[in-house]
Amino acid sequence: MSNWILGLTGGIGAGKTAVSDMLAKKGITIVDADVIAKQVVALGSVGLNTIVDKFGKEILQTDGTLDRAKLRHIIFSDSHSKQWLEQLLHPLIREEIITQLHSAKGPYVVLSAPLLFENKLDVLCSHTLLVDVPEHTQLARTTERDSVPQQQVEKIIAAQMSRAEKLKRANTILNNDKSLTEMYNQLEILHQNFVSTALNHSTCG
């Protein structure tokens, strides 16, 4: 893969989407693992048909699409179902990610994935950027944004790699515990550095 790839990650509520949206406005291609995860279970897909075979038609909404809330409830209540789903979806998602990374244009490409390290997607990346906030900020932002109980958000955080481990693994940390303006100012500097690094990489390559 000749593209210089920035792996972007962050826990729920950390502000990863705000970062990827800003980079997209600067003309950077965003390969979003969450978007791809939805594509591989879209109506008529092999992924969706396999899920229906496993859990029955009650996993579907009235229009035939996947009831994601129902599926999320099942997998967070049952570790075997979670493991089964991961074994089905991860190879499909990874294959599509690699296809999109290959075809991306621009100075560099972003692979945005909440489970970048957990799913070993960081091995596809030239550099990793962690959008970081304390856990209490994650809880406050997510419960307000998604109107979900705090206990559910705590379960999601607990199921992901610890903040300390992510901080240890990431090449660069972007602190997003203050205002959006401050985050954008930090990101602008990082973006210029990434463009420069990617340019050097392509020249050397």
Per residue in 86-111, pLDDT tens?
A: 999 999 999 999 999 999 999 999 99
Q: Is 13 annotated as a binding residue?
A: yes
Of 133, 148, 139, 127, the closest CA to residue 191 belongs to 127
Residue 135's pLDDT is what? 82
Using the predicted structure, report yes or no on whether residue 155 has a pLDDT greater than 90.
no
Does pLDDT of 2 surpass 70? no
pLDDT score of 205 more than 60: no
- Please indicate if the annotation marks 140 as binding a ligand: no
What integer is the mean pLDDT of 70-81? 91
Give the integer Cα–Cα distance in Å for 171 and 194.
12
Annotated binding residue 16? yes
What is the pLDDT at residue 95? 94
Q: How far are the Cα atoms of 119, 128, 176, 179 from residue 172, in angstroms, in the given order?
A: 19, 6, 13, 19
Question: Per the annotation, does 15 bind a ligand?
Answer: yes
Residue 33 has pLDDT above 70, yes or no: yes
Average pLDDT over residues 115-142: 91
Q: Is 105 assigned a ligand-binding role in the annotation?
A: no
pLDDT greater at residue 80 or residue 154: 80
Tell whether residue 18 is among the known ligand binding residues.
Answer: yes
Backbone angles phi, psi at 66, to 5 degrees: -70, 135
| pTM metric for this prediction | 0.85
